Amino acid sequence: MNIRTDILLRVYIAFGLIVCFAFAVIFKLCTVQFSQGKKWRAMADSLSTRYVNVEAVRGNIYSNDGSLLATSVPEYELRMDLLAGGIEKDDIFYEKVDSLAQKMSSYFGDKSARKYAQMFREARKDKERYFLVKRKVSHQQLTDIRRFPIFNLGRYKGGLISVQMNKRILPFRSLAARTIGYKNENVQPVGLEGAYSKYIDGESGKQLMQRIAGGVWQPIHRDVEIAPKDGADIISTIDINMQDIAQNALKKQLVKSKADHGCVILMEVETGEIRAIANYTLTKDSSYVEKFNYAIAGNQDPGSTFKVASYMALLEDKKVDTSTLVPTGYYQIPGHTIKDSHGSIGVVSVKRAFEESSNAAVAKLVNEAYKENQSKFTDHLYEWGLNEKLGLQIPGEASPVIKNPENRSWNKNMTLPQMAYGYEMQLTPLKMLSFYNAIANDGKYVAPIFVKEIRRLNNTIEQFKARVINDKICSDVTLKKMQEMLEGVVSEGTGRGIIYNPLYKVAGKTGTAQVADGNKGYRAKKQYQASFCGYFPADNPKYSLIVVINDPKNGYYGAQVAGPPFREIADKVFARDLSIPEPVQADKFAGNTIMPRSKAGHKQATERVYKALGVKALFANNASTNAIDTNNGVYVKDINYTEGTMPDVSGMGLKDALFALGNAGLRPIVKGSGKVVSQSLLPGVRVRKGYPVVLELN
């Protein structure tokens, strides 16, 4: 084979391969176009368009008194179609773009008018159809922006596109913030927002979106294809005013005692509705914030507040009576001596030992009563449900820890007497409060609730009532004795002088417990928990309340540390709740023929007072009067004012005396407060205008 033939052969082979490859490509194109065309067209459509979820407006959360605790407000992302119908022509766009830039610059103040104009011009040059202008724009701002040049050409002509997003806000900010909670993606739900998200969230809508250059998705239609369904509203049991009272009182005491953390819970006795709940933790910058819900998740030894359960068991089993005598001071058990921190008060009655919170007394009574059958004591605790969760409407409740003799950690010599005064167990503050609430509620033990109703479009779709845990925790006889003992703590015991209020009765128990420092035990670092748990008014209970303060640095006794905020909250709640009947004692005037004293003063005002009191009066006609008691009623003597003559202002209040002296043209000099008891010039004396007169008030 010569060289020419060899070259031609190679050319033919190369050309043939190219032709075969071309036919293969043509064959594949035909296959894709005709045989697999439907499949690939569908895939192309799915990559360029898709349905996206449109977030529904979340429902509101309201307080018990109708105040708005949490709501969603619209927040917008502003975009612009630079090729919209109203600005298709360059002359219209470029004529007004500088005015739009100037308006945007002066309204937001974040960029100069020049930069805004440059931004719009470049977007126009790039033929942007979904250009991002501004994020996080409020509804009011959007309303104003729609009146700006270009944007005011019409709904679609000006090219303004507003993408609505919902922002969750708390109108009262920190009030009940932890109870209201939040719901964020990839974060465990907290509070009412998390627990009732299936109601609050609503149902998402659908909108068809198209992918454009740059990977940006824009809606194909301005209106959504499937409209979202707004969420339902939650009516909580929180009273915003009581919540404010509770938070302020707690924070004030935490600051004063330099404590690490604390909580407060206010509960309505009959309904089990939580009216206020607050939790504060000390941060590194020495401020107190709500970081953890100690009220429902803070499991710790309750201390002396638990003695209520111990004495209830003793009374119910008739092991003791309130008059039974018991020694105080110390009680020796194998390996440990139980001491009273306040020292011995001698041999006293059970009632007195409870009022003075004697650890030694209750440890001795419980240990000797149940030593041979220790499970009988713990059976009472289990029967009352102290070992079970309350089944709250919000997440995060800690599981109670109540031992029994079958537990491996049970010590037959030490566990029972130490449980008697609130150690070797774990209970949350809300669990302890619920038990006290049962005593106030005549033995009916109910689980607390945080939500009372769910509404949609103002129509109730679901209601909640407290679940009854135990219809009767003990006999009426035992219950009555426990109520009297709890009242005695405030009037005669550890709460006297701090919790006691003469205007209404309070029943409750102080608590002081040493808290273990993690795995290091009780002796590593002495930390205390001060608490007071009770209810008021004791003769007709309306509210139960607990205050728990952990690791206070300035004192640690329950009455000293937890007592003041308890008293403050109880006083203010009692004062503002008009549904609580105030025990007013009417004055009795049996055999008294003397009318109540009355200040001299304005006639019409005096007339209104006597009329309101039902006292018959014989009124004169002058503007000022002096009331004089008679057998027929109250005769009102006229007082005449003459310029240049000293009037009689004795018996008057300061306001009326100044009025009388002013009319007489005199200059008063006042000493003291109250009503006038003496005047430097005698009535009727002639004096010149502006003459000084000294008035002495008692």
Note the pLDDT tens digit of each residue in 472-526: 999 999 999 999 999 999 999 999 989 999 999 999 999 999 887 655 555 556 7
- Is residue 45's pLDDT more than 60? no
Pairing of strands 468-470, 49-54: unpaired
| CA–CA distance, 696 with 679 (Å, rounded to integer) | 6
- Give the number of other Cβ atoms within 10 Å of residue 586's Cβ: 5
- Is residue 413's pLDDT more than 90? yes
Q: How confident is the model at residue 631 (pLDDT cuts 50, 70, 90)?
A: very low
Q: How confident is the model at residue 579 (pLDDT cuts 50, 70, 90)?
A: confident
Detail the DSSP E strand segments found in 65-194: 68-80, 131-138, 160-169
Please state the CATH superfamily assignment of the domain spanning residues 241-370+419-576 in this structure. DD-peptidase/beta-lactamase superfamily (3.40.710.10)
Predicted confidence at residue 524, as pLDDT, reads 54
More confident residue, 302 or 342: 302
Sign, CA dihedral 23-26-32-33, equals: negative
Predicted confidence at residue 227, as pLDDT, reads 77
- Is residue 617's pLDDT more than 70? no
| CA–CA distance, 504 with 534 (Å, rounded to integer) | 13
- Is residue 3's pLDDT more than 90? no
| CA–CA distance, 104 with 116 (Å, rounded to integer) | 7
Sign, CA dihedral 189-190-196-200, equals: negative
* Contact predicate 651/676, CB 8 Å: yes
User: Which two three-digit tokens encode residue 692?
Assistant: 């000084």
Q: Classify 530 as helix, strand or coil.
A: strand
Note the pLDDT tens digit of each residue in 60-84: 999 998 999 999 888 999 999 898 8
Q: Which helix (H) or strand (E) holds 79?
A: strand 68-80
- Give the number of other Cβ atoms within 10 Å of residue 458's Cβ: 6
pTM assigned to the model: 0.73
Distances (CA, A) of 510 to 114, 344, 490, 507, 547: 70, 18, 9, 10, 10
Task: Please give the average per-residue pLDDT across 275-294, as a whole number.
Answer: 94
- Is residue 447's pLDDT more than 90? yes
Residues of the chain above pLDDT 70, percent = 87
* Contact predicate 30/23, CB 8 Å: no
CB proximity list for 331: less than 8 A, separation 6 or greater: 337, 338, 359, 360, 361, 363, 364, 367, 417
Assigned fold of 601-697: Trypsin Inhibitor V; Chain A (3.30.10)
More confident residue, 622 or 360: 360
Assigned fold of 52-236: Penicillin-binding protein 2a (Domain 2) (3.90.1310)
* Contact predicate 470/384, CB 8 Å: yes
Pairing of strands 676-679, 692-697: antiparallel
Can you give the residue ranges of every domain in the chain?
52-236, 241-370+419-576, 601-697
